[in-house]
Structure 1
């Protein structure tokens, strides 16, 4: 995938202003909505069982995030996901904290079984727990540092779940089970602000709404988001994570296609600007 293609997808997102339906967790609702608005997408937060099917079919993408999970939330997610499938609306799953508790892990697996998921985005531990692979540890909803082969894990998960899998970390990896792409942008302060990973999943949803292949849409979103994080860190200049959070929202608005081409680093193609 050429970086120029990623920059074109950013322009498509902003031209289309896609409606992204989020059934997300209570911690990140406001930040996710503001982040999508800054990007140039339109967020909607609706989780009542009585309306999720209708809302999902009106949307351009549906994002399911299990961060603060209840039985009713799972039921609403299944209803919304199946309604989105009927209309061909891409559905994304963020299995926050999968592996931390039995309920959480079972819920994520249920969603994968009952809904056609376009993209799963999580950290290495979350993805490994869904696969039942040992050797990847988590702490609450966060992944611990690991020396495991993330690319192999992403490829395996994509084949097992028959979807595109995004694993975020120091290097972000995305795979469709055949091809594996790595994105080398971002900043460590993304781990110091609650909700940056959840927002990223919704940003990927906005890119998937362009109709692009989920593999390329995910990679383009990762490039854009990573570049925005780097720009935000430059503006923060050591002030701390509170300032970084605000500057990230600013950067999501101000990062343009030229920034993606100039600063984007994808696999071994960081200098492929064609």
Structure 2
């Protein structure tokens, strides 16, 4: 159950934005008659506006779909996507939820566009996933020159091999996704000259960040990563997954270089 839907004559509506991103009030699509012609941005099937028991706004298919990539999301997943999009917007970036590639090869939870045009995907992965699956999906983004950072509350094996952060689950059902697990230290603070090619980028000679074990929060982390102030350092992909090699420039999360090993 996604956070976006398409409305004929108005384009894509985003339940996380004031005016739904189209200058419309939520009440214009929620529990009104006649029903607005809402359709899924992925499969095109009819949808309706809903509100969860926790007060979260979202869109749901009229009939359960087993093939649509937007179907079956939990409120927990939606709340993390909201938190990531909000953090990116607070950092001065554009954030598009549930963006789909023209060729259909990927559907991003949050597609962030920096003022200079650089694009980065923030992916919420709360369900179990294999190393191969995450590496394959990461590769699809990188094939289209997109950076990607994964977020999960699980102690997943793939955390070692892709740019990722582990988050603590909210303390209560209505709590925010705010705290990061210490595993985020895999994003290193290193001299820019060690990793940038051919010269330091606009942010200066040294990457900013936090010390090991220091408490962090999601908005600070997202802002630092999007600005290129934190650099991911991942392990080499093991031989069993050798066909899933990754590439990126540490500062921008986009290039044809491989990730630096620990």
Task: Give your verdict on TM over 0.5.
Answer: no
Greater fraction of residues in helix: 1
Q: Report the TM-score when normalising by structure 1.
A: 0.29
Larger Rg computed on CA atoms: 2
Q: Report the TM-score when normalising by structure 2.
A: 0.30
Q: Higher relative CO (CA 8 A, sep ≥ 6), structure 1 or 2? A: 1
